[in-house]
A and B are shown apart, each in its own frame.
Chain A
Amino acid sequence: MTTTPAPVTSAGPPRGRRAADVLSRELPLAVISVDEGVGELTILVHVEHLIGALTLLRDHADALYRLPVFVTAVDWPDREPAAPRFDVVYQLRSIEHNDQCRLIVQVSEDAPRLPSAERVFAGMDWHERETFDLFGIEFTDHHDLHRILLPEDWVGHPLRKDYVSFGEPVAFTHNLEWALPAAERPRDMPGESR
């Protein structure tokens, strides 16, 4: 027997509708597009209006998204050349209105920087450092931007798609060099990405 109870996310408008309404009413210039999927809205905003949008969502009586959930990024290296490479994702929660919303700003590979939101939300300080650490995206005017999870001398930003994570490959006849001790392997040997 399989029962199908009501889906968990069925009732009510999609999460983030409140934020989209407030933004399109009070700061229409900031919004590029609003996408809906699996009961959630994703609001794409212009980077120059990011801080204004976050402040508005924090303070406006209809929004009150006062709890910063996380900041992270998504790397899209294969997007068509005109589109910026990184999506920087801001997730906020409103306890008063029991809602959550997601803002996305896009930054390019050549200038991966955007203003810091730590003055809007104290809790974004560490999340921005993590995004800097793992993606190499700079948050200008952050008071203390340096690596947080990885050692200071780490080279590269591991969550970028072109940072290949290596497994321990098995040596077959076509890649016998993997059977050599690590020190004797050729340095430019193509890595076997898993």
Chain B
Amino acid sequence: MAVLPPMRGAGTPTRDEESEAFDRGRSVLGVDPDNDAIDLVQLDDQTMELNMGPQHPSTHGVLRLVLELDGEVVRECRPDIGFLHTGFEKSFESHTWQQCIPFTDRMDYLAPLFNNLGFSLAAERLLGIEVPLRAQYLRVIMCELTRVASHFLWYGTSALDLGATTPFVYAWREREKILDINELISGVRMHTSFIRVGGLLADVPDEFYALVNEVVKTFPSFIDQYELLITKNPIWMDRTRGLGVLSPDDAMAYGATGPTLRGSGIPYDLRKAQPYSSYDHFDFDIPIGSHGDVYDRYLVRMREARESIKIIGQAMASLPGGAVNTSDRKVALPPRNEINTSMESLIHHFKLVTEGFHVPHGQVYQAIESPRGELGFYIVSTGGNRPYRCKVRGPSFSNLSALPHMVRNELIADVVAVIGSIDIVLGDVDR
């Protein structure tokens, strides 16, 4: 990340002459130290440099791009990230395992439950525990609802980037219903921390079933409406087809995953390939694209949302009863009535609240399929009550690294369409 102030008129003497970092940041980005990046910088007779972001509305957060332009054609694109870097991986090392869950919520803030799930599964594998089937199904239901919400938000915002304002309003309306379900089960609309190591925060209330069944019943027709708005819309097709093409080989070489990889025609979905949390109990398809362009990624996401609703319907129909937390009292809090009658339970309760549980020595990599791709947690434990090291593999980070390749020799107006199509969340990129 370079240290550059956001907006400044040419020639305004506001630069801190003491700051070497300022110049270093510019030299790294290839910007002449005497010029401001916000201005167009004439590099030679042919090309000039344009700064885009980090406050640009179509960068979906705080992404900064330095574009080298030849007329309107992008010759080179240098992303500059890190504006949202929060050092979560460092924080993990000083918090107990269960205390790490709220950090995970805040990384990919449009799909917080997936982050909860990835961390919990990794820790559970090290602990050697398996959560009850009801918890696994509820995890699947909540994650798929989150995937639908995330894809709806993506649909609204990326259509907005290309000038279509109506989809945004419609998609937001339906997303609210999913946030209502989040609020019902956890009291929080976004950062729910609902999935914990060893199970869930709590069982779901009775009102949950009607709300989710309503989603299963009504959402396919909402997706029909969305598709009616833009799928065959000539403007949308002209703006997105054949744009930002990523070949299957390039997609793999850049480490692209999720709809970005599947849009390029590779049917790889971790829910099918390496099932976790009982995904192998459900019947669903993996939509893929054929050209690897922006339009294909759009189609893949819309079909994925339909598949997610299929999964939710199946999970609701066969939702088993029982506990939602592991019966291993060394990991999950004992129920209240047990604490009243058993000295051992009281001790477990006290130990879990004060120092947390200890996780056996070892290392694990657990990957799950988030709405953006492979979200992985690589965790090293030395047997303590805190992770020794936790690396988060955010899918947006790798997907974004393919952006320069995708926008090379495209028009500058199409850059926003390509950024939109890879569905980055900057909290996931910068962590």
Contacts and interface: CB of A to CB of B under 8 A. Distances in A.
Interface of A: 1-5, 7-9, 37-40, 42, 66-70, 72, 74-75, 89, 91, 93, 95, 98, 100, 102, 121-127, 130, 134, 146-153, 158-159, 163, 165, 167, 193-194
Contacts, number: 152
Interface in B249-289: 249-250, 252-257, 266, 268, 273-278
Q: A-side binding surface: helix, strand, loop or mixed?
A: loop
Given A91-B365, A100-B365, A165-B94, A8 B276 contact: yes
Contact of B94 (A7, A9, A150, A193): A193
Contact of B3 (A122, A151, A163): A151
A70 B253 contact: no
Contact of B87 (A68, A72, A158): A158
Interface of B: 1-3, 19-21, 24-25, 28, 81-82, 85, 87, 89-91, 94, 121, 125-126, 128, 130, 132-133, 136, 249-250, 252-257, 266, 268, 273-278, 320-323, 326-327, 362-365, 367, 374, 376, 378, 380, 388-389, 391, 393, 397-398, 401-402, 405, 430-431
A91 B431 CA distance: 19
A38 B21 contact: no
5 contacts: A8-B276, A40-B365, A67-B252, A69-B393, A91-B393
Contact of A102 (B82, B126, B365): B365
Nearest to B251: A67
B364 A40 contact: yes
Contact of B376 (A70, A149, A153, A165): A70
Contact of B401 (A4, A7, A95, A123): A123
Q: Which of A7, A148, A167 has the most CB of B within 10 A?
A: A148
A165 B95 CA distance: 12
A130 B401 CA distance: 12
Contacts of A146: 28
Given A70-B378, A89-B378, A194-B94, A149 B393 contact: no
A69 B362 CA distance: 20
Contact of A37 (B254, B363, B397): B363
A68 B1 CA distance: 23
A33 B266 CA distance: 33
Question: 8 closest Cβ contacts across the A-B interface?
Answer: A153-B21, A123-B255, A149-B82, A123-B254, A1-B322, A149-B85, A72-B391, A126-B401
